[in-house]
Amino acid sequence: MKVGLRFAVTSVLLVAFAVGCTCMQKPWGSGALIGAGVGAVGGGIGAGAGANNSGAFNVGNDNEDKAVAIASGAVGGALVGALIGHCLWDQAPMVAKVAPPPPPAPPPPPVAKKIVLRGVNFDFNKANIRPDAAGILKEAATILKDNSTVSVSVEGHTDSVGSDQYNLKLSLRRAAAVKDFLVKEGVTESRLSTRGLGESQPVASNDTADGRAQNRRVELKVAE
């Protein structure tokens, strides 16, 4: 191989090495293959033309030297083309960054149900649970058992007949009767407190029999 040819091949190899060093981190793919094909054709043609026309490879007209020049050009062109194609088109696979899911929202604080005892009334001067109130109290017990963190105050009331002191005691007895009923239905006793309010908080007029009957009652209030 003549001096000019050796110089050209060496130059091609140096260029290929310099280009390759910058792209070795990328995976090899179709870009390198396409570049190698184009480079081989271009390199072979260029080397053949140079050998024929310009004498740049110093191979004269000898057919064997021309063939060596073309082959060397094709090899060098393929190498350089493969590396250039690799650098330009073979991209490292993109790894999608998946953001971690947001932390779960804290559960909302439990909303205590307001328990209204409609129809839980008492006979005059009595503290026993009437049959018509039993169903209502059973429903209240079910609600309390379904909401095991809720505590309630059982508050008894009376009409205005009788002294304040007597009505206060009677209202407390009515509250205690309702509490005992709820405990028998499965409500934890520690969740129930009793309070007698006497005639101080009427819900109807004490001037009529119907109004006084409405005032003889027990209410459940959710503890704060």
The segment with the largest mean pLDDT, out of 3-17, 22-36, 38-52, 149-163, is: 149-163
pTM of the model: 0.51
Q: Is residue 59 scored above 50 in pLDDT?
A: no
For residues 70 and 102, the answer to whether their CB atoms sit within 8 Å is: no
Same-domain status, 218 and 143: yes
Helix axes 164-184, 131-146, angle to 10 degrees: 60
Domain boundary among 71, 89, 107: 89
In a domain, 173, yes or no: yes
> What one-character-per-residue DSSP string does 87-141 give?
HHH-PPPP---PPPPPPPPPPPPP-PPP---TT-B--TT--SPPHHHHHHHHHHH
Domain boundary among 89, 117, 142: 89
Beta bridge partners of 112: none
Same-domain status, 211 and 141: yes
In the predicted model, what is the mean pLDDT of residues 60-88?
58
In a domain, 54, yes or no: yes
Least-confidence region, from 8-17, 42-51, 120-129: 8-17
Residue with tokens 């390198």: 32
Same-domain status, 82 and 143: no
Structural domain of residue 79, as residue ranges? 3-89
Same-domain status, 155 and 75: no
In a domain, 116, yes or no: no
Same-domain status, 141 and 218: yes
For residues 92 and 44, the answer to whether their CB atoms sit within 8 Å is: no
In a domain, 95, yes or no: no
Whole-number percent of the chain with pLDDT over 90: 42
In a domain, 77, yes or no: yes
In a domain, 101, yes or no: no
In a domain, 122, yes or no: no
| 130-143 tens-digit pLDDT | 998 999 999 999 99
Tally of domains within the chain:
2
**What's the DSSP call for residue 55?**
-
Give the CATH number of the domain where residue 209 resides.
3.30.1330.60
| 163-180 tens-digit pLDDT | 999 999 999 999 999 999
Comparing 9 with 157, the larger pLDDT belongs to 157
In a domain, 113, yes or no: no
SS3 153: strand
How would residue 27 be classed by pLDDT, with cut points 50, 70 and 90? Answer: low
Whole-number percent of the chain with pLDDT over 70: 51
How much is the pLDDT for 95?
57
